[in-house]
Amino acid sequence: MRGVLLFALPGNDPMADLLARALGGEVGTLDQRTFPDGESYLRLATDPKGRHVAFVCSLDRPDGKLLPLLFAAATARDLGAARVGLVAPYLAYMRQDRRFKPGEAITSRTVARLISDAVDWLVTVDPHLHRYHSLAEIYSIPAQVVHAAPLMSQWIRQNVNAPFVIGPDSESEQWVKAVAQDAGAPHAVLEKQRHGDRDVTISVPAALDLAGRTPVLVDDIISSGRTMIEAARLLAKGSTVAPVCVAVHGIFADRSDELIAAAGGRIATCNTVSHASNAIDVHALLAAAVGDVIRA
């Protein structure tokens, strides 16, 4: 069979190009536009018949992306693709994993079902698994997860002088400890309380001594940014060196990238969501995982 045929949903061309090069594959042409009435037009201009197809679609701000993705995957199957997969460097709808109030939608399950019906496999980077232990709890297709932590440690080692790795909350302790150990740095966690989507309070342990160190805040997602803004603000007050904020997925709702910078934080993110702060390239990890899935 010829190499994998990748299609980039809008905004995902750089990652699709990197993956195609790493996998010895080809990037096909996908035309997408919106009709005046708001419906999507979609065409796979490269024939997927008999090919192993992978759609590349990071699912930040997902509501406008999911439907075109489902149309594209259905079209590839209609046109005779041998297998159809999804590379979603950022996988959305992982947070609503429980009905907190009667009647609430458990959207993580619904989205998992839609994607599992549409494609044969999924590869993603560090999904926000909070109450689920693995994607297999909600995805019925092979779902491979790659972990950015080793690359984050490497970036910290190479770019930060005397780092002190700090997690925003006690839940992040195990993860932050591993990143810190790999970066050869001490670590600590802050105390965080979330009161609402855009309302968090954070406190710094009294014993935290950052003398001579660069505080490095490490988190999996910067979403509303409130966690990083508040943590960076507190750490900037208690340190003579500006904090560095490192995250896997930088969503940066509400222009929170600007607010983090204003709070004194320098930002580095992985290229799972396209943003000016992308400094940590995860494409080789994704390519290795896609290669494994294709060979399986």
Under rule CB under 6 A, residue 200 binds ligand R5P: yes
| Residue choice 97, 126, 220, 257 for contact with ligand R5P (CB under 6 A) | 220
Catalytic residue (one of 49, 65, 101, 192): 192
Helix axes of 107-118 and 63-78: crossing angle, nearest 10 degrees = 20
Dig out the tokens for 232 from the structure.
């960076």
Q: Binding of ligand R5P at residue 126 (CB under 6 A)?
A: no
Which segments of the chain does DSSP mark as H helices, in order? 13-23, 63-78, 107-118, 149-159, 173-183, 226-237, 256-262, 283-295
**In the complex, minimum distance from the CB of residue 279 to ligand R5P, in angstroms, rounded to a whole number:** 18
148-187 residues in contact with ligand R5P (CB under 6 A) are 168, 172
Helix pair angle (149-159, 173-183), 10° resolution: 50
The pairing of strands 214-222 and 266-270 is unpaired
Smallest gap from Cβ 150 to ligand R5P, in A, equals 18
Nearer to ligand R5P, 260 or 289 (CB): 260
Residue 221, phi then psi, degrees to nearest 5: -135, 140
How many residues in total does the chain contain? 296
- Which is closer to ligand R5P, CB of 21 or CB of 131? 131
Residue 81 touches ligand R5P, criterion: CB under 6 A = no
For ligand R5P, the binding residue among 4, 9, 92, 222 (CB under 6 A) is 222
Judged by CB under 6 A, which of 116, 124, 223, 239 binds ligand R5P?
A: 223
For this structure, is 192 an active site residue? yes
Bridge partners of 53, per DSSP, are 5, 84
CB of 243 to ligand R5P, least distance (A): 15
Active-site residues: which are they? Answer: 192
